[in-house]
Amino acid sequence: MAFPKKFLWGGAIAAHQAEGAYCEDGKGLSTCDVIHGGKGRIAEILDPKAIRANIEKGEGYFPEHIAIDFYHRYKEDIALFAEMGFKVFRTSISWARIFPNGDDAQPNEAGLKFYDNLFAECAKHGIEPLVTLSHWEMPITLTAKYNGWASRALIPLFERYAATLFERYKNSVNYWLTFNEINMTLHMPFLGGGVIIDNPADKDRLSMQACHNMLVASALAVKACHKIAPAAKIGSMVAAACSYPYTCKPEDVWEQKNIERMNYYLTDVQARGAYPEYAKKHLEHKGIKIEMDAQDEKLFAENCVDFVSFSYYSSCAVSTDPAITGVKTSGNIFGGIQNPHLKSSEWGWQIDPLGLRITLNYLYDRYQKPLFIVENGLGAKDIPAADGIIADDYRIDYLREHIKAMKAAIEEDGVELWGYTTWGCIDIISASTGEMSKRYGFIYVDRDDSGNGSLTRSRKKSFAWYRDVIATNGEQL
């Protein structure tokens, strides 16, 4: 049997993409509450004027305001996860529910209570929560006052937020993650770190500074977790961008190597306890001086994560040839060059199950720590048939092939993998487009891209399939 007996099968969502109730029970406005949906979402996130206008005026449809109303429907949803046999459920906590402005004197009791109830519901069904402290959202006040993670002022605020959560949930949560896809802050500073960049020439400096500040906060969270909840495990989380040199030309290989290294330098700090030399040189060559405290390096060295988690959806190719670099693929926001050997999803994300085995081996070789796949799945348009049934065989095919790749990595390569949470186990708002129609779930939610629909939940064909996968511990695919 390939999968260990205690393998954690389950699914994942994030607070802002699911909960809704954006201003209920004392919650403050979050960064994700001021982003519109649609194809222009990424451009909007990168446009300082648009973000400022949204914060000031707040006009138009903001999909996260209601999302799928998980805040009021979590009992029904968790019961459905339990029906599939979930062992683990990954979600995040909305910082603005706990500290509405980020720097409030006291936490918001109603916000804390919501997560008490949520974790109690998980426990009732024997489901282990896996909780991200910060998944692409934070109180908008922290952007307005400090320009988000660009400022070190956020470090003690986050430390207090994290300690508040560890104290409160130390008996109900055993698995924590610090920041979702920390490397994405380099590409999407507002989404990942609440940072608005007015001068594009400042993007590298500010985003790398924001990441440094997040690394310090992440190490402090690890320290607090180990002290307050010593039995719990806390991990890092990176968007694993599996890439291949387009050709065997040494220049292409070297280019791919450099892209890969810059993708993992933040995880290097979290998992190995120090900035790698190549990252220091990169900063030096770019003329970027990161503001650091004398204690930062010691803090990194003493507070490494217990495990490394990652998201994996697709792979891309890398080339130095301008004739080839024109053919782009979309991928998980950063994209790359289209690989002619792979097929793409409807959103242009290239489907590559072997890339998952390659990534598992690569990360295990690099960090020699237990791994956790906390996001994987296929975003697709699901069209219910006349009888209402959604026969999402394309999703089943995608997941089956990726699970086979995990199996091979465990069985044949000896990778230590703790668990697997498919992304968007129930349909939620897409992070990159704000659409509802980009669906990942085993459970269909009746809601469209403009916010119409009854929010009724129904089981797709993949629901029964995944239930059987879990019941047989990955034997029946």
| Catalytic site positions | 181, 375
- Minimum separation from the CB atom of position 68 to ligand BG6 (A): 13
CB nearer to ligand BG6: pick between 45 and 140: 45
Question: Residue 147 corresponds to which amino acid?
Answer: N
Distance, CA of 329 to CA of 339 (rounded, Å): 8
Among positions 124-163, residues that touch ligand BG6 (CB under 6 A) are: 136
Among positions 231-250, residues that touch ligand BG6 (CB under 6 A) are: 239
Task: Rule CB under 6 A: choose which of 216, 360, 431, 443 binds ligand BG6.
Answer: 431
The answer to whether 304 and 272 have CB atoms below 8 angstroms apart is yes
- Minimum separation from the CB atom of position 450 to ligand BG6 (A): 17
Task: Rule CB under 6 A: choose which of 430, 466, 469, 474 binds ligand BG6.
Answer: 430
Among positions 175-214, residues that touch ligand BG6 (CB under 6 A) are: 180-181
CB atoms within 10 A of CB 278: 14
CB atoms within 10 A of CB 286: 11
Task: Rule CB under 6 A: choose which of 74, 95, 119, 423 binds ligand BG6.
Answer: 423
The beta strands (E) that lie in 263-323 are given as 307-311, 315-318
The answer to whether 382 and 349 have CB atoms below 8 angstroms apart is no
Q: Which residue is nearest to ligand BG6 (CB)?
A: 432
Please report whether residue 90 would count as binding ligand BG6 according to CB under 6 A: no
The answer to whether 155 and 220 have CB atoms below 8 angstroms apart is yes
Please report whether residue 332 would count as binding ligand BG6 according to CB under 6 A: yes
Distance, CA of 214 to CA of 88 (rounded, Å): 26
Q: How many residues bind ligand BG6 (CB under 6 A)?
A: 16
CB atoms within 10 A of CB 36: 17
- Minimum separation from the CB atom of position 239 to ligand BG6 (A): 6
CB nearer to ligand BG6: pick between 175 and 300: 175
Among positions 4-63, residues that touch ligand BG6 (CB under 6 A) are: 14, 17
CB nearer to ligand BG6: pick between 183 and 319: 183
**Please, what is the angle between helix 154-169 and helix 203-228, to 10°?**
30
Distance, CA of 286 to CA of 264 (rounded, Å): 18
- Minimum separation from the CB atom of position 333 to ligand BG6 (A): 7
Distance, CA of 452 to CA of 49 (rounded, Å): 29
The answer to whether 450 and 118 have CB atoms below 8 angstroms apart is no
Q: What one-character DSSP code corresponds to residue 432?
A: T
The answer to whether 22 and 140 have CB atoms below 8 angstroms apart is no
- Minimum separation from the CB atom of position 402 to ligand BG6 (A): 14
Q: Say which residues have a Cβ less than 8 Å from residue 51's Cβ, sequence separation at least 6.
A: 34, 35, 44, 45, 190, 196
Please report whether residue 422 would count as binding ligand BG6 according to CB under 6 A: no
Q: Binding string, 364-383, against ligand BG6, x = CB under 6 A?
A: -----------x---x----
Exposed, middle or buried, 273 (CB in 10 Å: 0-12/13-18/19+)?
A: middle
Among the listed ranges 56-64, 156-164, 428-436, 453-461, the one in contact with ligand BG6 (CB under 6 A) is 428-436
Among the listed ranges 1-9, 42-50, 102-110, 427-435, the one in contact with ligand BG6 (CB under 6 A) is 427-435
The answer to whether 311 and 240 have CB atoms below 8 angstroms apart is yes
CB nearer to ligand BG6: pick between 296 and 435: 435
Distance, CA of 82 to CA of 311 (rounded, Å): 23
Among the listed ranges 60-68, 114-122, 386-394, 429-437, the one in contact with ligand BG6 (CB under 6 A) is 429-437
Interacting residues with ligand BG6 (CB under 6 A): 14, 17, 136, 180-181, 239, 311, 332, 375, 379, 423, 430-433, 438
